[in-house]
Amino acid sequence: MTLMYLPENAQQGWLDQLNIWELGADTDPGFRNRLELHLPEGKTYIAKTFGREVIFGKTVQKGVGARMLEYANELVEQAYVTDPGPDLDGDTLPDWTTPRVAGGKAIIKFDPTIDSILPSGAVNSGRPGCNATDNSTCTCSSNRACLLLQKYTELPFFMRQAMRDYGLASPSMKGIY
């Protein structure tokens, strides 16, 4: 509903906070104050940052698009072995991470909250190749954050498509007047 009625209010600042770009499908927006989401399938989303605020005791991004990517990055960090990205905001922490790939697949972390059932019927934390000491055969179904991320990645995709379909954003048109 926000996207449908926002043009009536002429609030361009709100649209700026909602916007999400997808590298490859859109041109790189070129701004430095940004947050990126690197998905293991190869998609990269970008949102502009507008500072941070504290909500319910947690410090989060002010912009809606950036907050969406920030949460998705938290899931990436919990689901995959990652490599740190840049620190553009100067807080000594990487602004995003990128899933590490080996053998053409992202390396999934062991999730100790998921148990397996042994042939004897006993419950065991982990299984051979996906346990606290070896995550070489972990799959997405072996990690709760990975499963959440698979569902959540539809949200930035939807936001980008909705902004385009409502005619409120056309990130690919950067530089064309």
Taking only the tens place, the pLDDT of each residue in 8-50 is 555 677 778 888 999 988 888 888 899 999 999 999 999 999 9
pLDDT for position 176:
41
pLDDT for position 177:
39
Alpha carbons within 13 A on the beta-carbon side of 116? 16
Helix (H, G, I), strand (E, B) or coil at 163: helix
Q: What is the reported pTM?
A: 0.86
Residue 152 has pLDDT above 90, yes or no: yes
Looking at every residue in the chain, the average pLDDT score rounds to 87
Q: Which residues contact 80 (CB under 8 A, 6 or more apart)?
A: 40, 99, 100, 106, 107, 108, 109, 146
Helix (H, G, I), strand (E, B) or coil at 160: helix
How many CB atoms neighbour CB 117 within 10 A?
Answer: 10
Q: How confident is the model at residue 170 (pLDDT cuts 50, 70, 90)?
A: low
- Average pLDDT of the segment spanning 166-174: 62
